[in-house]
């Protein structure tokens, strides 16, 4: 069967068919990379994904030491989907492991 096209966790919903993200029902504009990063985290809720895993999954090539690319994109994503980007509810940093999308 076809994988479900909408993932909703807490206030955030991702629709892969429409390539759309909604925050409490309101559309949020993300770049394709931000969208892919958010989808990757939300498709494995609560699971810590390393920067390397995220890099391979989102950018689609082997990790070349550009971890700051992941960090910068996470920061931009937080600015768009978090109520308080500096104190995130959803996209959490897991010390020594990477990032995860927290379920409520």
Q: Helices (H) and strands (E) in the chain — how many of each?
A: 3, 6
> Which range of residues forms the domain containing residue 92?
6-101
Q: Are 39 and 14 in contact (CB under 8 A)?
A: yes
Query: Tell me, what CATH number does 64's domain have?
Result: 1.10.10.10
Distances (CA, A) of 85 to 39, 66, 77, 95: 18, 22, 9, 17
- % the chain with pLDDT above 90: 80
pLDDT (tens digit per residue) in 54-69: 999 999 877 666 668 8
Q: Would 40 be classed as within a structural domain?
A: yes
For residue 67, the model assigns a pLDDT of 66
- Where do the H-state alpha helices sit in 3-64? 32-42, 51-59
**Tally of domains in the chain:** 1
Q: Would 37 be classed as within a structural domain?
A: yes
Q: Would 1 be classed as within a structural domain?
A: no
pTM of the shown model = 0.90
Residue 20 is encoded by which pair of tokens?
């759309």
């Amino acid at each position: 069967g076809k994988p479900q096209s909408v993932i909703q966790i807490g206030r955030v919903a991702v629709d892969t068919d429409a390539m759309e993200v909604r925050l409490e029902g309101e559309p949020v504009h993300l770049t394709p990379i931000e969208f892919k990063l958010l989808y990757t985290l939300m498709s494995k809720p609560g699971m810590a994904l390393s920067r390397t895993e995220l890099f391979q999954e989102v950018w689609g090539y082997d990790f070349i030491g550009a971890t700051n690319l992941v960090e910068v994109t996470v920061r931009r994503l937080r600015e768009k989907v978090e109520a308080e980007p500096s104190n995130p509810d959803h996209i959490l940093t897991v010390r020594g492991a990477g990032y995860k999308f927290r379920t409520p």
